C-alpha cells in the first residue's frame, strides 16, 4: 500500500472511531506511519483527506452491494442476496454510520458521497423491484421506488436496533420482515 492509500485507510478508521472533529492530522499520520510532509504532498489538508476516505468507503459499499444485486437469480432473489449477505452487524454500516457525525454532515461536500451512495442504492433496488413487478413476481400495489426506500430504511434501522440491543438479532428480524413482506406480494 502506498503512502496515499495508508493515509486514506488511516483516516477511514479514525473517522469511524472518533468522528471528523476527533480525527486529527497527527493521529492520521501516526496511524499511517507517515511523515507530515507526505500528507500535504498527497492532500491539501484534513478535509481533502477525509473526502477521499468518505468517497472510498462509499465506493466499497456500492461495489459490495452491486456484487449481490447483479448476481444470479431473479430480481427478488438478488435483492434477498444483498439483504442476507454477511455483515458485521454490530459495527454498523460504514456509510450509514457517517450520518451520525454532525461535523461531517454539516459539510455539503463531505456529505455528498454518503447521500449519493444511498440514492444509488435506492435506485438500484427500485430497478430490481420494477423488474420483479414486470415479471409478475411483485404485485402492482407496491411502488418500486417507495418500496426500495423502505428496504434501505429498514436495513439502516436494523443496524441501529442491533447496536442498541448489542445483538444482531434485531437486524436479522428486520431483514426477515422485509423479505416476508416482499415474499407476501410474490405472485405465481
CA-angle at 37, arms to 36 and 40, nearest 5°: 95
Number of H helices, E strands in the chain: 9, 0
Query: Does residue 41 lie within any of the structural domains?
Result: no
pLDDT of residue 56: 97
pLDDT, tens digit, 9 for 90 and up, residues 104-132: 999 999 999 999 999 999 999 999 999 99
Q: What is the pLDDT of residues 159-186, one digit of tens each?
A: 999 999 999 999 999 999 999 999 843 3
Give the count of domains, the chain.
1
Question: pLDDT, tens digit, for every residue of 5-35?
Answer: 999 999 999 999 999 999 999 999 999 999 8
Residue 9 lies in a domain: no
Q: Is residue 106 part of a domain?
A: yes
Does the pLDDT at position 187 exceed 50? Answer: no
Residue 40 in any domain: the answer is no
CATH number of the domain enclosing 63 = 1.10.357.10
Q: Are 57 and 95 in contact (CB under 8 A)?
A: yes
Q: Is residue 3 part of a domain?
A: no
Contacts of residue 37, defined as CB under 8 A and 6 or more positions apart, other chains included, come to none
Domain membership of residue 120 (yes or no) is yes
Closest CA to 45 of 106, 110, 130, 139: 110
pLDDT of residue 38: 87
pLDDT tier at 140, thresholds 50, 70, 90:
confident
CA distances from 41 to 7, 15, 24 (A): 11, 21, 17
pLDDT of 184 reads 40
DSSP states of 132-165: HHHTTSS-TTS-HHHHHHHHHHHHHHHHHHHHHH
Q: Is residue 97 part of a domain?
A: yes
Average pLDDT estimate for 34-39 = 87
pLDDT in tens, 41-93: 999 989 999 999 999 999 999 999 999 999 999 999 999 999 999 999 999 99
> Can you give the pLDDT at residue 186?
37
Share above pLDDT 90 across residues of the chain, in percent, rounded to a whole number: 87
Helix axes 144-165, 108-134, angle to 10 degrees: 120
pLDDT level of residue 139 (50, 70, 90 thresholds): confident
Looking at the domain assignment, is residue 30 inside a domain? no
Range of the domain at 95: 57-184
What pLDDT, on a 0 to 100 scale, did the predictor assign at position 7? Answer: 96
Amino acid at each position: 500500500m502506498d503512502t496515499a492509500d495508508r493515509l486514506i485507510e488511516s483516516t477511514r478508521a479514525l473517522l469511524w472511531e472518533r468522528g471528523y472533529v476527533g480525527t486529527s492530522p497527527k493521529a492520521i499520520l501516526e496511524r499511517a506511519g507517515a511523515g507530515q510532509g507526505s500528507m500535504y504532498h498527497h492532500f491539501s489538508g484534513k478535509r481533502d483527506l477525509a473526502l477521499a476516505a468518505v468517497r472510498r468507503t462509499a465506493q466499497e459499499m456500492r461495489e459490495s452491494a452491486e456484487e449481490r444485486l447483479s448476481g444470479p437469480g431473479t430480481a427478488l432473489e438478488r435483492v434477498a442476496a444483498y439483504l442476507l449477505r454477511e455483515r458485521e452487524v454490530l459495527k454498523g454500516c460504514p456509510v450509514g454510520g457517517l450520518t451520525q457525525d454532525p461535523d461531517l454532515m454539516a459539510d455539503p461536500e463531505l456529505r455528498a458521497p454518503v447521500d449519493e451512495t444511498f440514492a444509488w442504492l435506492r435506485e438500484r433496488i427500485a430497478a430490481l423491484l420494477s423488474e420483479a413487478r414486470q415479471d409478475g413476481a411483485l404485485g402492482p400495489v407496491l411502488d418500486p421506488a417507495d418500496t426500495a426506500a423502505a428496504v434501505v430504511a429498514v436495513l439502516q434501522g436494523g443496524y441501529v436496533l442491533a447496536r442498541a440491543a448489542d445483538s444482531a438479532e434485531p437486524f436479522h428480524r428486520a431483514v426477515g420482515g422485509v423479505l416476508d413482506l416482499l415474499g407476501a406480494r410474490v405472485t405465481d
